[in-house]
Amino acid sequence: MLTIATGNRAVADAVKAAKPGVIAAYPITPQTEIVEQIAEYVTAGDLSSRYIPVESEHSAMAACIGASVGGVRTFTATSSHGLLYMHEMVHWAAGARLPIVMANVNRALGPGWNTWAEHTDAFSQRDTGWLQVFVGTVQEAYDATLMAFKIAEDERVLLPVMVNLDGFTLSHITQSLDTVEIGDFLPPFHLPHAIDTANPLGYGPMTGPADHFRFRWDIERSMRDSRGVITEVEHEFAERFGRSYGPTEDYRCEDADVVVVAMGTLGKEAEVAIDRLRDEGIKAGSMRLRWFRPFPDLDLAGREVVVIDRDYSFGFGGVVAHSIKSKTGIQPYSVIAGLGGQEVTYNDIADFVRNRHPGEEMWFGVNDHV
């Protein structure tokens, strides 16, 4: 059904279609609309889920862990400091191999207090064992959330998935949304190591030096296997519903001499910049990085690369720029832009390309006097 929706509404509609058995909810700007909309679906009888309004984000993830290990499909949503508050349980969810799906509406971390878009919140959880996908449109927020359940629940993966969307610039904007009847796209949830309530047993969580590394490797092995599962699920989704996705969304990259790499809504803004640059005779393209964990192999050989990071690792650099440098050996022009919702237009992105200095780092809007 074709309609108009915000990014938050799209996530809620996808959750409604996925029919999780348990939804744990705690509000935080700018994701609150997601759990509010889901609450309306549950109250109206349009979604038969156990809706648990908890007292904190830590409890939200704990509730999801308890339900998931009991063999129930689960969902929650958070943002920024809420994600930090549940950090301990984020590790436990991955370590227990529970395919929880969570929407994270990307927002800056304080201080100072800021509710606008930034990717530092999600990147702070990058080593927890969660798969992370970043979306750039309302439609993609819906589609990625649906696919997240299928990817997470595949027995070759059994890891939680975080669906990231930019605060306000996607969570609260309206675009067209085509919802689908998913049919048997999502099979009934089956967790092979679910507890058996008819035959209760006690488990000790302590793992000593002889075993702990085996659990770590098992997570990494499944993370590697998830690449193939993601491809399979995205291919099936395209065949059933006609919308195609991949690890990146490439725009006019075929003959590009310089490629702009960005994530989320900045990746879509970059496409307009590319058209302006092409009109000037600059053979530019853009590559919107969708999957951050697992990190994909990127086809950037022989090209200059401009990376826009809406994040920063203090004392190190832009997280995406350094990830690309590490994976490819390319020395990108690293642009730090969009932190805390800083406005970055397509004209600004075009200037990044025109004035690029490969191997250097530039903070947009910052001068010697800050």
Q: Left if phi > 0, otherwise alpha if psi is -120 to 50, otherwise beta: which for 355? A: alpha
DSSP state of 230: H
Give 75-107 pLDDT, tens digit per residue.
Answer: 999 999 999 999 999 999 999 999 999 999 999
For 105, the enclosing helix (H) or strand (E) is strand 101-106
Sign of CA dihedral 121, 123, 126, 127: negative
CB 263 within 8 A of CB 118: no
pLDDT at 114 over 90: yes
Which residues on neighbouring strands pair with residue 74, listed in sequence order?
A: 22
Token representation of residue 60: 């939200």
Taking the C-alpha atoms of residue 20 and residue 18, their distance in angstroms, rounded to an integer, is 6
pTM above 0.85, yes or no: yes
Give the chain's length.
Answer: 370
Q: How far is CA 52 from the centre of its chain?
A: 23
Give 171-194 pLDDT, tens digit per residue.
Answer: 999 999 999 999 999 999 999 999
Taking the C-alpha atoms of residue 281 and residue 55, their distance in angstroms, rounded to an integer, is 56
Taking the C-alpha atoms of residue 263 and residue 74, their distance in angstroms, rounded to an integer, is 27
Taking the C-alpha atoms of residue 108 and residue 104, their distance in angstroms, rounded to an integer, is 12
Percent with pLDDT over 90 in the chain: 97
Nearest to 145 by CA among 88, 77, 84: 77
CB burial of residue 222 (10 Å; 0-12, 13-18, 19+): buried
Q: Which residues contact 184 (CB under 8 A, 6 or more apart)?
A: none
CB 344 within 8 A of CB 355: no
Nearest to 53 by CA among 19, 75, 73, 26: 26
Helix-helix angle 265-279:346-354, to 10 degrees: 60
Place of tokens 């999600």: 122
Give 275-314 pLDDT, tens digit per residue.
Answer: 999 999 999 999 999 999 999 999 999 999 999 999 999 9
DSSP codes, 296-359: PP---TTSEEEEEES--BTTTB-HHHHHHHHHH----EEEE--GGG----HHHHHHHHHT--TT
Taking the C-alpha atoms of residue 289 and residue 306, their distance in angstroms, rounded to an integer, is 13
Q: What is the pLDDT, as a whole number, of residue 197?
A: 87
Nearest to 259 by CA among 290, 295, 303, 302: 303
Taking the C-alpha atoms of residue 194 and residue 37, their distance in angstroms, rounded to an integer, is 29
DSSP codes, 127-178: TSS-EEEE--SHHHHHHHHHHHHHHHHSTTT---EEEEEETTTTTS-EEEEE
Average pLDDT, the chain: 97
Taking the C-alpha atoms of residue 152 and residue 98, their distance in angstroms, rounded to an integer, is 8
Q: What is the pLDDT, as a whole number, of residue 346?
A: 98
Token representation of residue 353: 């390309």
Half-sphere exposure of 36 (CA within 13 A, CB side): 9
pLDDT at 10 over 90: yes
The total of other beta-carbon atoms located within 10 Å of residue 305's CB is 22
Give 190-240 pLDDT, tens digit per residue.
Answer: 999 999 989 988 777 799 999 999 999 999 999 999 999 999 999 999 999
Alpha helix ranges (H) inside the chain: 7-18, 32-43, 57-69, 80-85, 87-95, 120-123, 138-153, 212-241, 265-279, 319-328, 346-354
